Each structure stands twice: as structure tokens, then as C-alpha cells.
Amino acid sequence: MSPSDHINAYPIRFIEPVVLKDGTLIQLRPIHPIDSNQAEAFRGKLSSKSIYDRFLGYVPKISSKLIERLTNIDYTQEMAIVAEVQHKKEKEVIAVGRIAGEQKAGADIAVIIADDWQGKGLGSILTNYMIDVAEEMKYEKVYSTVFAHNTRMLEILRHRGFSIRIEEYNIRYAELILTTTN
């Protein structure tokens, strides 16, 4: 995909302003290759625990190849939504939600939030938004694998209607059947 194809395919319909519980205005929007310049800065806002919980114990090494893979996506097959806040003339990425699908039968959804922004309602907002995006993308279901100790995320998923089952002693599998009309 050439850069011009990517720009033409950019799904502007998924740009959405939201307000956090504390009144902070946040912009949700699809990730774009230009976000690669903020990847390391965003990584620096995450504790080891946040990364460990998001990647279920695997801690990916940041490389230019990984950054390109995560920021230059095919919007018809997957989606990544960044949450950003405006600081004077500069925008800061504070969270990322991602949908990775399997032939429209189901999509894995995951959310990671900068540590300083956790506990402000952004996890619920971004999770709900990712589910709405998955429905619009015509996925039949969404699922997420979560550590049992990640009670905040499990509560968000439970509140949204996910069925949650024990996958392993410390892993939970959450699934939500979507009401898309194909």
C-alpha cells in the first residue's frame, strides 16, 4: 500500500471526541503511520506491569519493524484507535485500542492506557468504542484474553456483557457476540 493509498483509505468516520470523568477532552481516531514518531514516547508512559498485563507476560521489544507493523495497518482487516489529548500545540497519545480479526468470524480486542491516565474512565470508553467499531466492521464476535488479576479490565468487559470463563488458572477468556447485520 503506497502512502497515498493509505491516506485515501483512512477511515475518518472513526474520529470521535469524548470527555473523561474529570472533564478532559480526548480525541479517539484511527492510528496512522505518522503515529510511529510517538511510539517510543507512549511506551515510556507504560509501567512494566501495564505492558505485562496487556501482552499476557510477553514484553515485545520495540523495533522500527514492529512500530511500522502496528501503525501502518489495513483498515479493512484490523483497526487500532488511539486516544490523544491536546497540550497547547502538541498532541499526546495516551491509549491505544486494537482489533485484530479472523475473517470476520471474530476479533481479538485489546486496550492499553498510559499509567497516568488509568482510573479516569478511559478504559471503559475505549473498550466500548472498540466494540462499536468491530460491529461496524461486521465482526460476529469480539473476545479478549485477560489475566485474572486484571480485575479492572475484567469488570469493564463484564459490565459490557462479555461472558467470561477460566482459560487457565490465571487467565480469563472473555467473549461477546455482536449484533451485526451482514
Element (H, E) at 109: strand 106-113
pLDDT in tens, 69-99: 889 999 988 999 999 999 888 899 999 999 9
pTM of the model: 0.89
Share of the chain above pLDDT 90, in %: 68
pLDDT in tens, 115-153: 999 999 999 999 999 999 999 999 999 999 999 999 999
Ranges 11-20, 101-110, 128-137: which has the least confidence? 101-110
Q: What is the pLDDT of residue 180?
A: 59
Q: What is the pLDDT of residue 179?
A: 81
Average pLDDT score over residue span 53-79:
83
User: How far from 130 is each of 14, 16, 62, 76, 96, CA to CA, in Å?
Assistant: 10, 12, 24, 14, 10
Q: With CA atoms as reference, report the closest residue to 154 among 80, 57, 162, 115.
A: 162
Q: With CA atoms as reference, report the closest residue to 29 among 130, 166, 140.
A: 130
Average pLDDT value for the chain: 89
